[in-house]
Amino acid sequence: MDERKLSVIVVPHGDLETKTLEIPYRTLKVLLAMAFVAFIALGLMVGFWFNIASKAARAAELEDQLTKLEAERAKVDSLAHVLAEVETQYENVRKMLGADAPSVGKQPLLPDLPKAVFRDDDGDGVADLAAPDAWPLTERGFVTRGLTKVKTPHAGLDIAVPQNSYIRASGPGLVKVAGEDSVYGKYIIIDHGGGLETLYGHAARLLV
């Protein structure tokens, strides 16, 4: 066993007497070992603290990302709902138009409509002051595109109805044009007099 001791001489300020402090080497080694262990423990604690602090900061960042993802998911769910509604409407329009059914060349059934009675005072075959006031379709339909004046001007109404639906004039007048166009397909223009004309397009066939 090591019996050596470390002598520490303490000289107080302004005092001639000295004090000697003796520390056994064994005790000194124990103290040094404890100090080393305490230093290591302190280092581990600091390391753990930085690790925990970084994870805490990362957790806050992940929470922010989670909040954003939840908001994005809500938008996706909303868009999916809108898309499902649009697809349902599209299928309804397809069924109504008979897009999935083979064309069998049926002749359209023309409804019995009362003959129009109008005045033709000047004898030109065109109604005088006969403004269109009738709906030109005999079947219920969906308006797929309305009137617009800005960005993409659209001066008419696009109405989806079943195939072979009858299209009638919205008022008495004189057929001015009956032809075919790259945009309107088979179409008819009716002159109602007074500078007023109506156009009927996208027809399957013309009966005038």
Q: What are the tens digits of pLDDT across the range 18-69?
A: 777 777 777 878 888 899 999 999 888 888 888 888 877 788 788 888 889 9
* pLDDT over threshold 60, residue 99: no
Say which residues have a Cβ less than 8 Å from residue 108's Cβ, sequence separation at least 6. 164, 165, 166, 204, 205, 207
Residue 6 placed within a domain: no
* pLDDT over threshold 60, residue 129: no
Domain count, the chain: 2
Whether 78 and 109 map to the same domain: the answer is no
**Per-residue DSSP letter, 170:** S
Last residue of a domain, one of 96, 122, 145: 96
| Average pLDDT value for residue range 134-145 | 82
Instruction: Please state the pTM of the whole predicted model.
Output: 0.41
Higher-confidence residue: 12 or 75?
75
Q: What is the pLDDT of residue 122?
A: 65
Q: φ, ψ for residue 71 (rounded to 5)?
A: -65, -40
The per-type count for the chain, helices as H runs and strands as E runs, is 1, 7
Last residue of a domain, one of 96, 114, 133: 96
Point out the least confidently predicted range of 56-70, 123-137, 176-190.
123-137
Last residue of a domain, one of 96, 115, 146: 96
Residue 116's alpha-carbon distances to 41, 76, 178, 197, in angstroms, are 105, 54, 20, 17
Point out the least confidently predicted range of 124-138, 163-177, 181-195.
124-138
Written as six digits, the tokens of 62 are 């992940």
Say which residues have a Cβ less than 8 Å from residue 16's Cβ, sequence separation at least 6. none
Residue 12 placed within a domain: no
Q: What is the pLDDT of residue 123?
A: 67
Boundaries of domain holding 29:
19-96
Identify the band that residue 176 occupies on the pLDDT scale cut at 50, 70 and 90. Answer: very high
